[in-house]
Each structure stands twice: as C-alpha cells, then as structure tokens.
Amino acid sequence: MAKIAPPKTAPLITLTTDFGLSDPYVGQVKGVILGLCPGASLVDLSHDIPPQKIDRAGLMVASSYPYFPPGTIHLAVVDPGVGTSRRAILVQAGGQMFIAPDNGLLTRVIKAHPRAKIREIINPEVMNHRISPTFHGRDVFAPVTGRLAAGLAPTEVGPKLLDPVLSAPVLPSLRRGIIRGRVVYADRFGNLVTNVPVALVEKSPGLGPVKVRIGGQELTGLHLTYAEKEAGLPMALVGGLDYLEVAVNQGRADEYFGLGEGAEVEVEL
C-alpha cells in the first residue's frame, strides 16, 4: 500500500445514493469512511434517489458540486449493475473528485470538464478485503473514498480510463423560439423540476414574455418567488437547482396538474 499523506484541512465528502434511510446501508458506508478518515465531514446530498434512477443521481451531483470547495470528494452510488463486469471509476474534475460506478452517472460532470482525469478503480488494496457482490457501496466505493480523504494519491486506485460510459440524458430542444423539455421529478414539496436549464431560457435570443405550457395549461412569466402568486395558484419558477420548475404557492404542483416524471413541458419565448 502506498504511503498516505494526511490532508492539510479536514476533508469534505458528499454522499448520494438510492439506499434510503430505513436500512443500515448508509450508516455502514459512513462507518467505513470514518474508520479510514476520522476527521472527515460527511454531507448527505440525498439518499432518496428512486432505486436504479442513475440519471436522477447524476443530476443531483452535477447541480450540487459547484457549491462545494476545491478538494471535496463526491461519492455517488446508484448501481443496478453491482456485482457484474461494470467498472468503478474515479473522476478528477474542477479541483474535486467524484467516485461512482461507471454506468453514466457522472456523464454531466465529465462532459462539463473535457480535461477531466479518469481512472478505473481496480487496486484491491484500496478496497475491503471481503467484498459483497451486492454491496460495493460499502466494500469498494466507501474504502476508496475514505483512503482518498485520508491522503491517498488518486494514481494508486488504478490505471487511466479513456472510455468511460457516457449516458444520453434526455435534454431539452430549442427550435423557433420554443423549448421542449420534460419533468425530471417532483421534489418533496411537489414542485415539478424540469430538465430545462434556466440559463437556456435567459440566454435565448429574442427573449420576450415567457409562456410555459404543461398539462394543458399555460403559465405566463418566469417567477423568482412563490409569493408572486396567490396561494393555490400555479407558476413557472426559477428553481433552486437552476432548472425551470412548475410550482403551486403553498400547494403541490404534482397534485394540481396530476403529473410527474416524464411529463412534457413547453417554454415559448
């Protein structure tokens, strides 16, 4: 095992999984990490990703990492291919590190950083000695994360990887002043989060009064706060993840429209 140089500051690690909190899985992952790097600070991005929703996890990570300081390590495990020949990867990008299954979860991060350094995690010395075929989150990804946080050089995890799996996330289209997108999910408040980046709306040429069509209704304007509409009324909103959202002030848009993941949305500029 290579020597580990202790980090100069307390390492920061984010965790994103589909493990939920009703089972001990998340706790065991944290236990492995803290056993290897007791000084680490662990931040839970989400453990409520629906099972096997790789793209949802990728969106969570990609929309969150810019808010973390250089040196942060992001561990994301949504892994329907656990135990198969799918690879495990480490991505160095934007001064941060990302650890995940090589199943497309980190597509957005890799595409946003063309010079990202990617390595396949294959060194058995950075993993647990006993590896469960169904729990690589604890036995592969957590030990690597803990050792990297404790100062392990990224080069120790394995060789460079030139062909990471890149998924094709459903992206919005823009044609003749109309953006066509979809609802990605409903958050815990019932807001319908779409795949339409607010930046795409704001930077589109000929920007006029925005009209958002969803569920057979048309909403006028792009609002910044919920209070801009009376209680119980729907609106198009600049969401906290910097994507267009459809919300209802003091209500649930998913129930109001009877819509959820996959619903179509149009934005007319």
Give yes or no: residues 33 and 141 share one domain: yes
CA proximity to 179, closest of 171, 187, 168: 171
Which of 156, 182, 212 is a domain's end point? 156
CA 3 to CA 191: how far, in whole Å?
A: 48
- Whether the CB-CB separation of 246 and 257 falls below 8 Å is answered with yes
pLDDT values of the chain reduced to their tens digit, one per residue, 269 residues: 555 665 567 899 999 999 999 999 999 999 999 999 999 999 999 999 999 999 999 999 999 999 999 999 999 999 999 999 999 999 999 999 999 999 999 999 999 999 999 999 999 999 999 999 999 999 999 999 999 999 999 999 999 999 999 988 778 998 888 999 999 999 999 999 999 999 888 776 554 578 999 999 999 999 999 999 999 999 999 999 899 999 999 999 999 999 999 999 999 98
The per-residue DSSP string of 114-153 comes to: TT-EEEE---GGGS-SS--TT-HIIIIIHHHHHHHHTT--
Question: With DSSP H G I counted as helix, E B as strand and the rest as coil, what are the percentages for the chain, rounded to 5?
Answer: 25, 30, 45
Indicate whether 36 belongs to any domain.
Answer: yes
Give yes or no: residues 207 and 89 share one domain: no
Give yes or no: residues 106 and 205 share one domain: no
CA proximity to 249, closest of 219, 216, 208: 219
Give the domain extent around 244: 173-268
Instruction: Record the pTM.
Output: 0.87
- Tally of structural domains, the chain: 2
Instruction: State residue 196 phi and psi, 5-degree precision.
Output: -95, 110
CATH of the domain at 193: 2.40.30.90
Give pLDDT, residue 4: 63
251-258: list long-range contacts, CB under 8 Å, 24+ apart: 251/190, 252/186, 252/189, 252/190, 253/186, 253/190, 253/191, 253/192, 254/186, 254/190, 254/191, 254/192, 255/190, 256/190, 257/192, 257/214, 257/215, 257/217, 258/215
- Whether the CB-CB separation of 88 and 101 falls below 8 Å is answered with yes
CA 113 to CA 66: how far, in whole Å?
A: 12
Tokens 């957005």 belong to residue? 108
Give pLDDT, residue 269: 83
Give yes or no: residues 136 and 182 share one domain: no
Q: What is the arrangement of strands in the sheet containing 41-46, beginning at the earlier edge strand?
A: 41-46, 12-17, 73-77, 96-101, 88-93, 117-120
Give yes or no: residues 223 and 116 share one domain: no
